[in-house]
C-alpha cells in the first residue's frame, strides 16, 4: 500500500531543531538532573520568538501574553473551543475543510454548520455569501488558510473583505487555522489573520510545527488569542495535561528562528512531486481545468466523473476510495471534508512512490488505457 492520504510529510527533521533538542537533553545529562519543566503557557523564549515571527508577518501589536504553546495543534484547538463555546453554540465552517473540525466542535459542545464552497470558482468565499450564512447566534467562524484539503490560499484582500462582514457581528469569534502557512507556492506569502484589524478583540489563530516546520511527531502547537482567552486556555491546559517537554520546545524555538529557510527548503523538496501529480491528473480522461493549489502539500482532485451512478454521492465516493485502496493506493475521501467525489492526494512523498501510486490510480480510473495497451495519461512523465 502506498499512502497519499497522510497528513504528515516525508520531511527530515531540520538540523537546527535536532541539535537544539539534543543540547537540551545533553544539559540534563551533564548536570545529572531531571529535565526542567516548562511553564504551562510554554517557554518564554519560544513565545517571544513566535511573537517576533508574527510581527514580521504584520502582527505589529502582538504580545507574548497572547501566545500559548500547546501539545500539538489539536490540543490547543480543543482547549480553545472548550473555553469559547457554550453547549449548542452555532459554529460556521466553510467547506471543503479539514475533517477533524467536526468532532472537535462536537466534543466542545458546539453545533457545526457547513457553508459549501465550489471548486468551479476556486473555493471563493464571497462577502455576501458569508453575510447570508451568519446569524446573530453564530458564535464562531472557522477558516483554514491555507485550506486543507483544497490548498486554497485566501489573500489579505479577501480576508479584509470577509472581516468587513464579521465586524458587524460583535458576538462572533473568527478562527484562522494557519498550520500550513509556510508551504506556499503562490506569488505572495500566506497572510495571517493577526495582521488584520480586530475591532472586537475576537480573532484567534491556531498553528503548529508539524507541517510548515517539519516537526511531525514532536507534539508542539500554539494558540494566539486575546490575553483573557489565552489565560483561560493556559489554565485549562494546566489542569488537564502537562506542558510540552523542554527538548521539543527547544526544537520548536530553533525551527521558529529558521522558519523562512525551513519553509523554502520544504517547498523546493515538494515542487517535483507537486508538478508530477498535477500533470498526471490533468491528463486523465475528462479532467476539468483547475487552478493549481497555492498552499499545503495536497491536491484536492475532482473524481466525481468516476463515481458509480447507482449510489448516492457519499456512498459512491466511499466505494471509489475503497477501489483505490484495493489497488494499493490510500487517499482521503473528500466526503469526509464535505465534498463527495473528490479525493485529497498528498504529494509529500518520495518520487518513486508517487510514480507507482499514480500508475495504480490510473489503472482504476482509466482501465481502457491499460486494457487496450494505449499510451497512458502518464506516458509523458513515466
Determine the pLDDT at residue 378.
53
Over residues 16-39, the mean pLDDT reads 93
Tens of pLDDT along 54-105?
A: 999 999 999 999 999 999 999 999 999 999 999 999 999 999 999 999 999 9
Q: Which of 189, 220, 185 is CA-nearest to residue 206? A: 220
pLDDT > 70: percent of the chain:
96
For the segment 276-314, what is each residue's pLDDT rounded down to a tens digit?
999 999 999 898 888 899 999 999 999 999 998 999 999
Report the distance separating Cα 362 and Cα 369, nearest Å. 8
Of 209 and 371, more confident: 209
Report the pLDDT averaged over residues 233-261: 97
Cis geometry, peptide bond prior to residue 268 (ω within 30 degrees of 0): no
Cα(207)–Cα(249) distance, integer angstroms? 14
151: Cα separation from own chain's centroid? 9
Which of 91, 176, 85 shows the shortest CA–CA distance to 138? Answer: 91
Whether the pLDDT of residue 148 is over 60: the answer is yes
Domains of the chain: 2-9+270-371 (3.90.1150.10), 15-260 (3.40.640.10)
Degrees to nearest 5, angle at CA 351 with 14 and 99: 70
Whether the pLDDT of residue 189 is over 80: the answer is yes
Q: What is the pLDDT of residue 370?
A: 42
Task: State the pLDDT confidence band at 369, using cuts at 50, 70 and 90.
Answer: very low
What distance in Å separates the CA atoms of residue 112 and residue 372, rounded to the nearest whole number?
A: 48
Mean pLDDT over residues 31-60, rounded?
A: 95
Mean pLDDT throughout 157-180?
98
Nearest to 143 by CA among 131, 130, 365, 132: 130
Residue indicated by cell numbers 490510480 = 361
Distant-in-sequence, close-in-space partners of 172: CB < 8 Å, separation ≥ 6? 134, 138, 139, 140, 141, 166, 200, 202
Task: Judge whether residue 375 has pLDDT over 90.
Answer: no
With beta carbons less than 8 A apart as the criterion, state whether 105 and 74 touch: no
Q: Provide the 8-state DSSP code for 295.
A: B
d(C-alpha 46, C-alpha 254), whole Å: 9
pLDDT of residue 282: 93
* Omega cis (within 30) before 146: yes
Whole-number average pLDDT of the chain: 94
Q: Where are the beta strands (DSSP E) in the chain?
A: 2-3, 67-70, 90-95, 111-116, 138-144, 173-177, 203-208, 221-224, 298-302, 329-330, 332-333, 342-346
Q: Is the pLDDT of residue 380 over 50?
A: no
Q: Greatest CA span in the chain, whole angstroms?
A: 70
User: Strand 173-177 relative to strand 138-144: parallel, antiparallel, unpaired?
Assistant: parallel
Q: What is the pLDDT of residues 113-138, one digit of tens each?
A: 999 999 999 999 999 999 999 999 99
* C-alpha cell belonging to residue 76: 490547543
Q: How confident is the model at residue 32 (pLDDT cuts 50, 70, 90)?
A: confident
Pairing of strands 329-330, 2-3: parallel
Amino acid at each position: 500500500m502506498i499512502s497519499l492520504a497522510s497528513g504528515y510529510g516525508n520531511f527530515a527533521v531540520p538540523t537546527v531543531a535536532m541539535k537544539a533538542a539534543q543540547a537540551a537533553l545533553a544539559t540534563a545529562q551533564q548536570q545529572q538532573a531531571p529535565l526542567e519543566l516548562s511553564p504551562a503557557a510554554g517557554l518564554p523564549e519560544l513565545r517571544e520568538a513566535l511573537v517576533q515571527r508574527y510581527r514580521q508577518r504584520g502582527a505589529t501589536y502582538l504580545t507574548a501574553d497572547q501566545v500559548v504553546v500547546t501539545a500539538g495543534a489539536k490540543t490547543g484547538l480543543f482547549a480553545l473551543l472548550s473555553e469559547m463555546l457554550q453547549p449548542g453554540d452555532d459554529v460556521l465552517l466553510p467547506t471543503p475543510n479539514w475533517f477533524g473540525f467536526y468532532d472537535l466542535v462536537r466534543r466542545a459542545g458546539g453545533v457545526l454548520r457547513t457553508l459549501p464552497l465550489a471548486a468551479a470558482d476556486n473555493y471563493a468565499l464571497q462577502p455576501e455569501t458569508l453575510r447570508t450564512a451568519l446569524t446573530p447566534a453564530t458564535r464562531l467562524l472557522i477558516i483554514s488558510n491555507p485550506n486543507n484539503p483544497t490548498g486554497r490560499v485566501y489573500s489579505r484582500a479577501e480576508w479584509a473583505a470577509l472581516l468587513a462582514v464579521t465586524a458587524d457581528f460583535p458576538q462572533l469569534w473568527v478562527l484562522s487555522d494557519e498550520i500550513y502557512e509556510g508551504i506556499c507556492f503562490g506569488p505572495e506569502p500566506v497572510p495571517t489573520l493577526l495582521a488584520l484589524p480586530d475591532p472586537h478583540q475576537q480573532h484567534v489563530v491556531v498553528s503548529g510545527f508539524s507541517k510548515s516546520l517539519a516537526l511531525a511527531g514532536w507534539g508542539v502547537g500554539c494558540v494566539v488569542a486575546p490575553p483573557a482567552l489565552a489565560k483561560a486556555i493556559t489554565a485549562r491546559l494546566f489542569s488537564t495535561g502537562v506542558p510540552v517537554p523542554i527538548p521539543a520546545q527547544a526544537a520548536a524555538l530553533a525551527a521558529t528562528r529558521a522558519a523562512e529557510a525551513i519553509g523554502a527548503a520544504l517547498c523546493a523538496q515538494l515542487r517535483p512531486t507537486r508538478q508530477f501529480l498535477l500533470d498526471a491528473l490533468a491528463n486523465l480522461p475528462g479532467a476539468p481545468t483547475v487552478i493549481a493549489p497555492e498552499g499545503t502539500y495536497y491536491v484536492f482532485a475532482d473524481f466525481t466523473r468516476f463515481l458509480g451512478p447507482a449510489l448516492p454521492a457519499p456512498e459512491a465516493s466511499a466505494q471509489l476510495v475503497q477501489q483505490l485502496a484495493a489497488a494499493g493506493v490510500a487517499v482521503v475521501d473528500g466526503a469526509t471534508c464535505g465534498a463527495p467525489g473528490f479525493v485529497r492526494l498528498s504529494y509529500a512523498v518520495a518520487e518513486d512512490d508517487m510514480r507507482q501510486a499514480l500508475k495504480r490510480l490510473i489503472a482504476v480510473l482509466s482501465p481502457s488505457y491499460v486494457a487496450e495497451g494505449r499510451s497512458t495519461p502518464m506516458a509523458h512523465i513515466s
